[in-house]
Amino acid sequence: MATMVQSISRSAIGLGLFAVITGGTIALTQAVTKERIAEQAARAEAAALFEIIPESTHSNDMLNDTISLPDAAVLHSGEAPNAWVARQQSDLVGFIIPVTATDGYSGDINLLVGMTPSGELLGVRVTGHHETPGLGDRIETRKSDWVYQFNGRSLANTPGKQWNVKKNGGEFDQFTGATITPRAVVKAVHKTLVYVRKHQAEIRQSLGLPVERGNRKQRNAVASHFSEPEH
């Protein structure tokens, strides 16, 4: 009887140790996997940032030069997102804002929107999405050059009604068999430009370049990029 009890006890202890070791191994694997995923995401984000504003065009450490954004909840990009800033010595090259289009075909589409201090788009990149392969995923640069349509755009040279796909009377191409995805991206980019215009003074002050700085001609040039033409 005693031998049986001892055997059962040893089995129970063995099973307990096995459970602890297995649980620990699984937890460690999950932690390592999570860390690797985070590292891969960070590398992909950095690559996208430098596609918008190449390292050769600025002298600062853009990845660690950031500013906080006022009323950033309207951008749907998480809690208190920061904008990355590119500087060439004492001159401001541009800044990049993280934005989320919440009305994609298959959910959120995460974007990076870069622009000059005067509100002209330097580029847009997609950093995450769940859009349909072969259709909506053409918002990625590795799938098509569609996203390059935004380069050089501003509220001044593209009136508000034009910020839509051509099917809906706008200036931007849609995809064959996929209209919702590109429309969501166009809408999000336009929303970002409008956001920056609304918070222009606060953002420029954070950047160290308040609107009031410079002569009247410079101020008017800045204002013109952030203003949509009258119709």
Write out pLDDT tens, residues 83-103. Answer: 999 999 989 999 999 999 999
For residues 34 and 78, membership in a common domain is answered with no
pTM: 0.79
Q: Is residue 139 part of a domain?
A: yes
- Both 78 and 23 in one domain: the answer is no
Q: Which string of DSSP letters, residue by residue, matches the chain?
A: -HHHHHHHHHHHHHHHHHHHHHHHHHHHHHHHHHHHHHHHHHHHHHHHHHHHS-GGG--S-GGG-EEE-TTGGGGTSSSS-EEEEEEETTEEEEEEEEEEEEEETTEEEEEEEEE-TTS-EEEEEEEE--PPTTTGGGGSTTT-SGGGGGTT--TTTS-GGGSSBGGGTSSB--BTTB-HHHHHHHHHHHHHHHHHHHTHHHHHHHTT--TTSS-HHHHHHHHHHTSPPP-
User: For the chain, what is the domain count?
Assistant: 2
- Considering the domain architecture, whether residues 48 and 65 belong to the same structural domain is answered as no
In a domain, 230, yes or no: no
**pLDDT exceeds cutoff 90 at 216:** no
The tokens describing 165, both together, are: 């796909």
Is 82 found in the same domain as 48?
Answer: no
Residue 88: inside a domain: yes
- Cα separation, 164 vs 183, in Å, equals 6
Residue 95 sits in the same domain as residue 161 = yes
pLDDT higher than threshold 50 for residue 18: yes
Within this chain, do residues 36 and 64 fall inside the same structural domain, yes or no?
A: no
Q: Kindly state whether residues 10 and 118 are assigned to the same domain.
A: no
Whether 162 and 217 map to the same domain: the answer is yes
Out of 52, 72, 93, pick the residue that ends a domain: 52
Indicate whether 19 and 123 sit together in one domain. Answer: no
Does residue 103 belong to any structural domain of this protein?
yes
Domain boundaries, position 15: 1-52
Asked whether residue 215 carries a pLDDT value surpassing 60, the answer given is no
- For the stretch 150-169, pLDDT in tens is 999 999 999 999 999 999 99
Same domain (yes/no): 218, 162: yes
Q: Within this chain, do residues 64 and 35 fall inside the same structural domain, yes or no?
A: no
In a domain, 78, yes or no: yes
